[in-house]
Chain A
Amino acid sequence: MDNRNAILKPTFFIYLACFILMLFLPKILPTYHLILFESGITFAIMALGFNLLLRYTGLLSFGHGALFAVGAYAVGMTGEYYPDLYRIEILLPIALLASFVVSFIFGFICVRHTRVFFSILALALSMVLYALLVKLYSITGGSDGIRIELPMMFGKSFDGVKRFEFLSGAYYYLLICVFAAATVIMSAIVNSPFGKALQCIRDNEVRAEMIGIRVRRYRLYSFILSGLFTGLGGAMWSFVNGHVTPEIAEWVFSGEIVYMTLLGGFMVFEGPIVGAILFTYLRLYAVSITQYWMFLIGATLIILVLLLPEGITGGFVKLFSKMRRRPSPGAVSC
């Protein structure tokens, strides 16, 4: 495909339309739904990062909750110990740096393994972080977590502003800009030579090594990039939620990350975004109608895996290509 024509492709216009629509959402949606949508968007940033690992590198991490928590806690702890730095333009780089360090350590250990063992190791490492967050309560606030105050934004203070006003105002626009940037960067990454090399490793590790790709190192790069997106998602989420607790580092949340990615369909680039937003609503709905919401989530998960393994976007793509192929009677199927 010719990159110069990328701007003329229909997907570009769909992206643009979505972005413009999102700019006007605060006028359309009631505040409650807007905040829910924002929390879905932060999950989407994370799911994009998660999918770089799953779809494009072929590694299923069951410990991404920990990396999400790193971003969120980086914000919380900066606010706790260095209130001077509590400005969003400084907080986001700090969160990125923290998730870089942690994902480097995690990745260094995990990429020695593939398949199930990779998943187990990622899961186990995330539980270490969880245990640290709970047990070092004098530093991290233990299971009570840390309250997230409203940050300064580009020199503007939000003292006395209600959280929902902050969230439906300036912060919303920042969030969708970050989200749009994350989507564009991720799509550039997966279409770059680096992204192609990752997919090559996924498809055939031995062959990739033979043509001179340093398999383990590329996997590490992929893990770190994925961790950066996840940490960014966590940092953005912390403001929306207003409170961070160790539960986001627990592996059940990591499982939910896998779930939302597969719900949207991990074989399509945009799938995780759809899945993350949908999952936010699904989960809230389940929690509001029954105390046995885990049962409901588990049941839908099982149905999804059994009946719609390509996820929602994958299902659409399949339907679409089927409809296209139909009007050619007598064509030889191959």
Chain B
Amino acid sequence: MEHWVIYLLNGLYFASFLFLTSLGLSIILGVMGILNLAHGSLFAIGAFVAAWIVGSFGSNSPVALFFVGLLAALGVAGVVGLALEMSLIRPMYKRALEYQLLITFGALLLIEDLIKMIWGGTAYYASGPFTAMGSLAIGRNQYPYYFLFAMLISVAAGLGLWMIMSRTRVGIMLRAISMDREMAQAMGIQIGKLNTLAFGMGAALAGLAGALIVPTTPALLGIGMDPLILAFIVVVLGGLGSLKGALIGSLIVGETRSMGIVFFPEIELPLLFFIAVIILVFKPEGLFGR
């Protein structure tokens, strides 16, 4: 019984940073209509920045430092995202899909090697916060508080984004663009600036997700590839541009992964796809897609 609680919680933990990653991807795809293949690299930037800051203080760094790491990751990934949008993505809006995908693919190759140039090919460890936070006893098992903390951050970010999207003027304009781009433009919404903002926001979320993962996994080259693929599944499953879709999608993917790793580790990913395919056959637009 207790095992099941832990498996469920593990699934929630997977889901929490998956939610952040896919939310960013979904915002960019929804508002700008561009599938950002470099999203995993922004995730990786977040991971490296956080691991670098936390790890530079050794293994017993104060927990407060991790917050600095989180914010720095959020900021750096956001700034890189803004720069990316302004330099490369902006000329691409009117171009065909192939070019949009290829330019983000080019950006992915660039960023991966930039990370290699800046941080080298070595792994960065930042398990300080993980050990410092201790663990919670569930029956006879120990469950690290850090996992709960990561879920909390993810929920907070999700709530914050939901507030922005539903309450503020900018959020409403962003939603208008994702519903009908031309109509929004006709209403006098400045699409250019909002595109930049949306991309920056999505990138910052990816960076935050990357920073959240480093206390449990070292920052390595190519760390962003797996989350990127999983985020694709989440977006396809949950439906485009919906917060609810990203949430439910990442819960499904997270829980399936957690259970899959325990019971059938070899086919955990194919199983995920099997579920995705069944949903897509019956509901091609995704669970909450329009």
Residues of A within 8 A of B (CB): 54, 60, 62, 109, 112-113, 115-117, 119-121, 123-125, 127-128, 131-132, 135-136, 251, 255, 258-259, 262, 266, 291-295, 297-299, 301-302, 305-306, 309
Which residues of chain B have a CB within 8 Å of any CB of chain A? 29, 33, 35, 37, 88, 91-92, 95, 97-99, 101-103, 105-110, 112-114, 116-117, 229, 232-233, 235-236, 265-267, 269-270, 273, 276-277, 280-281, 284
Which A-chain residue is minimally distant from B289 (CB atoms)?
Answer: A117
Q: Determine which of A120, A131, A259 lies in contact with B236 in the assembled complex, contact meaning CB atoms within 8 Å.
A: A120
> 14 interchain pairs (CB within 8 A)?
A62-B101, A119-B35, A120-B35, A123-B229, A124-B233, A125-B273, A131-B270, A132-B269, A135-B266, A255-B105, A266-B98, A298-B105, A298-B106, A298-B110
Q: Is the CB–CB distance between B233 and A298 below 8 Å?
A: no
Residue numbers in B under 8 Å from A127 (CB-CB): 229, 269
Q: Are A301 and B106 in contact (CB under 8 A)?
A: yes
Q: Cβ of B110: which chain A residues have Cβ within 8 Å of it?
A: 294-295, 298-299, 302
Cα of A56 to Cα of B133 in the assembled complex, Å = 57
- Could you say which of B95, B229, B233 has the most chain A C-beta atoms within 10 Å of its C-beta? B229
Interchain CB contact under 8 A, B236 and A117: yes
Nearest-CB distance from A222 to chain B (Å)?
A: 16
Residues in B with CB closer than 8 Å to A124 are: 229, 232-233, 236, 273, 276
Contacts of A297 in B (CB 8 A): 109
List residues of chain A with CB within 8 A of the CB of B95.
309
B182 smallest CB distance to A (angstroms): 17
- B35–A262 touching, CB < 8 Å: no
A109 touches B277 (CB 8 A): yes
Asked if residues A113 and B91 are in contact (CB atoms below 8 Å), the reply is no
Q: B98 and A60: CB pair below 8 A?
A: yes
Tell whether, in the assembled complex, residue A298 and residue B232 are in contact, meaning their CB atoms are under 8 Å apart: no
- In the complex, which residues of chain A have a beta carbon less than 8 angstroms from the beta carbon of B117? 292, 295
B270 A259 Cβ-Cβ under 8 A: no
With contacts A262-B102, A295-B114 taken as known, whether A302 is within 8 angstroms of B232 at the C-beta atoms is no
A112 and B114 form a contact (CB under 8 A): no
- Flag if B88 contacts A121 (CB, 8 Å): no
Q: Given that A119-B35, A120-B232, A124-B232 are contacting pairs, would A112 and B102 also be in contact in the complex, using a CB cutoff of 8 Å?
A: no
Inter-subunit contact B105/A258 (CB<8 Å): yes
